[in-house]
Amino acid sequence: MYDFLKDLNDQQLESIITTDVPLRIIAGAGSGKTRVITNKIAYLVEQEKINPYKILAVTFTNKAANEMKSRVQKILKNSLSVPYILTFHSFCVRVLREDYEFANLKKDFIIIDTSEQQKIIRKILKDLNLDDSKNKPERKILSRISNWKSSFTSWEEVIDNTFNSQEKSYAKVYRYYEDYLIDKNFVDFDDLLLKVHKMFKTNMNVRKKWIQRFDYILVDEFQDTNNVQFDLIKWLTDKRGCLTVVGDPDQTIYSWRGARVHIILNFEKEFERAKTVKLIKNYRSTQPILDLANNFIQNNKNREQKDIFTDKKEGDIVEVKECASKYFEAKFIAKKIKQLVEENNYKYSDFFVLYRMNAWSVEFEKEFSNSKIPYELVGGFEFRERKVIKDVTALLKAVAIQDDFSFERVFSFVPKVGTVTSEKLFNCAYENNINMFELLTKREDLTIMISKNLYEISNALREAHKKFLNNENVVDIANFLIKESGYKQKLDLKDKEGIDAIENIEAYFDQMKKFDDEYDKNQEQSNRLVKFLQEETLNINNENLMVVPNKVTLMTIHAAKGLENKVVFIVGLSSDVFPSRMSMFSKEGLEEERRAFYVAITRAQEKLFISYVMGEYSYIASGQLGPSRFIGELDPNLYSIEKNIFFHSATEMSSKKYDSGVVNQKPEKIDPGVKVGDIVEHFMFGDGVVSKILDKYIQIAFSNPAYGSKAIPINSNAWNKK
């Protein structure tokens, strides 16, 4: 037996050695799925004698792809080549690099990110006299365009099938947006998948070429697959048995990105001779935590039945905490963290605080600051979103792509070039029908009449372009531009901002050098700098979380997927917060919210705390907060609850030592005092009719159509029966 197959359980081993039929691995949380995938790749190379270049493994994030690649390299010590381990988007970029002409692209096409998309939309709105800078509709329009493109709906179809004037205007923007991308040889993130999908669907020669390219295909996080991605996988396997997919239907929480849980659930119907192996042994959590997770997720009906277990039978029971307000929730958790650090030898980095919505973090940020608890808020500015990194990238794009958007940014930081000069330069380029790069590097006769301060940037661009054409190292081109453009001289190394900027530039240089070291000019068809910029754009939406020493991590449940920690606090389990109100009126939405809670529970290794707010008024809930329906779905035998004592006055509360109280009893069932059809009055929304009575709240259809139908907590003082 190979060394890498030792110490595997029976199900893991079966998953690895099954190679002759389409295989679905249902991998429960913490069951070692990454180990299975990487070991299976090694098994295919060592035992099945498949050339590594003939193996394709796809996943959803660069972080996961890099982790898999690193593990495979360690196992295949003697292999001269490494399998293709890529994200779906990176794989599609590779296809388009080779077969760009079949996708109606030119060589060295440019991938644009979200910020560049927004700039394009703003320009189109201005050109069409639809500029609405006050409401800033760019994101909404891009979301609609993305939905239309992903559902293969053309702008003509949108216009023909809608009577909504706003939708028609958005469709008009959609038309000009697509024309703009074609004209500039740009592709957005949706295009990467959709252009390859169209190519494989309509061009059998290209499809056969890529089918023959790979002898085996593996898909990680298969539960997050959308219909387009699934089509690509089916076409590449071409009814062969050379497919292994790994995922967990109970962790499908990205339907808003297009993930469809039915794809993994119906796998055996799609592939002949398909087989399923379930990995249900958990190596992460204690049994009390898993018991709660197993019991809770059974409330979902659309799932693959499984109960995960562990050898860690002993462990603390899960604790549920009722709090009088968001302030007291944060205060309780801050106190609990300090206690565990001081008395149980935990480090601050051993704690996750997870919430359903970003807005719930505010009280924790305040309380942790006041309590001197170091914390990291995931979701702040990531590395590539920092100004200095965007500035350097704009300089590189100005040389390689020569687009106006990059020059807009360059002019914002180049010495002695202000807004007026910038505007004159753009007008001059437009009037002479040349781009900004040509104006600055070839038409000094024109630029000298606008400003005498352009020599430095013009010369820097001209010389950097020579380096670009010579395919020189990216780090050398960047270093040259930063120095010669005057950008580096602008940074004040006497203050923290300037020092931080230099440190970030140096970190960027490290990434460039790594890219340069791995670039093989004998095999690559693309220019080195162009390829670097393409890959950097791919990385923007898949940035790895920075490892912060000894700090509590605050983040959303969606950001925590794939992570784990010793102690986890799941906060904000209040009505209309988690599950969200929007999810309450569809079975699919509610089941996805359950899966999100299940994901949160299974992040915990040793201790799990769940908290909710009871009694405080919240505009989120349009009334007083109460316990989430998920609290009611938890088996009371599997957790202990610490309930709030309600005080009648501030004097009564101050006369007692108040840590939000302890009462170990189940909440009484709330009598709504109304029935379906009764008319009620809400102090903010006016009159309405009770349309449904749910667990802890009533659904009211309001007379004013602007408010529609809302779920209002029964115990709220904001409404009364008329």
CA distances from 602 to 291, 350, 606 (A): 10, 15, 10
**Is residue 33 flagged as an active site residue?**
yes
Q: What is the mean pLDDT of the chain?
A: 85
Active-site entry in 34, 73, 298, 421: 34
**Does position 449 have pLDDT exceeding 60, yes or no?**
yes
**Is residue 34 flagged as an active site residue?**
yes
Active-site entry in 33, 54, 207, 561: 33
Band of pLDDT at residue 50, cut at 50, 70 and 90: very high
pLDDT for position 655: 42
Which residue do the tokens 């302890």 mark? 662
Please spell the DSSP secondary structure of 27-74, one letter per residue: E-TTS-HHHHHHHHHHHHHHTS---GGGEEEEES-HHHHHHHHHHHHH
Under CATH, which number does the domain 318-374+548-642 receive? 3.40.50.300
pLDDT tens-place string over residues 148-186: 998 899 999 988 888 888 888 899 999 999 999 999 999
Amino acid at site 455:
Y
Radius of gyration in angstroms for the set of CA atoms belonging to the chain, rounded to a whole number: 29
Whether the bond into 579 is cis, omega within 30 of 0: yes
- Residues annotated within the binding site are 27-34
Architecture of domain 3-99+194-281: 3-Layer(aba) Sandwich (3.40)
Residue of higher predicted confidence among 126 and 347: 347
Residue 211 parent element (H or E)? helix 204-213
CA distances from 559 to 48, 128, 349 (A): 37, 38, 16
**Is residue 603 flagged as an active site residue?**
yes
**Does position 599 have pLDDT exceeding 70, yes or no?**
yes
CA–CA separation, 415 and 400 (whole Å): 22
- Residues annotated within the binding site for ATP are 27-34
CA 288 to chain centre: 30
**Is residue 591 flagged as an active site residue?**
no
- The answer to whether residues 148 and 172 touch, using CB atoms and an 8 Å cutoff, is no
pLDDT for position 297: 95
CA–CA separation, 119 and 407 (whole Å): 13
Band of pLDDT at residue 621, cut at 50, 70 and 90: low
Tell me the average pLDDT across 231-244. Answer: 94
Architecture of domain 385-539: Orthogonal Bundle (1.10)
**403 phi-psi bin (left φ>0, alpha ψ -120 to 50, beta other):** beta
Interaxial angle between packed helices 138-150 and 165-184, expressed in degrees from 0 to 180 and rounded to the nearest 10: 80
Active-site entry in 225, 251, 286, 393: 251
Angle at 143 between CA 142 and CA 146, to 5 degrees: 85
Under CATH, which number does the domain 110-184 receive? 1.10.10.160
Among 216-230, 259-273, 504-518, where is mean pLDDT lowest? 504-518
The DSSP secondary-structure symbol of 667 reads P
pLDDT for position 656: 41
Active-site entry in 113, 138, 191, 221: 221
461 backbone dihedrals φ, ψ, rounded to 5°: -65, -40
CA distances from 104 to 4, 56, 99, 162 (A): 45, 25, 9, 29
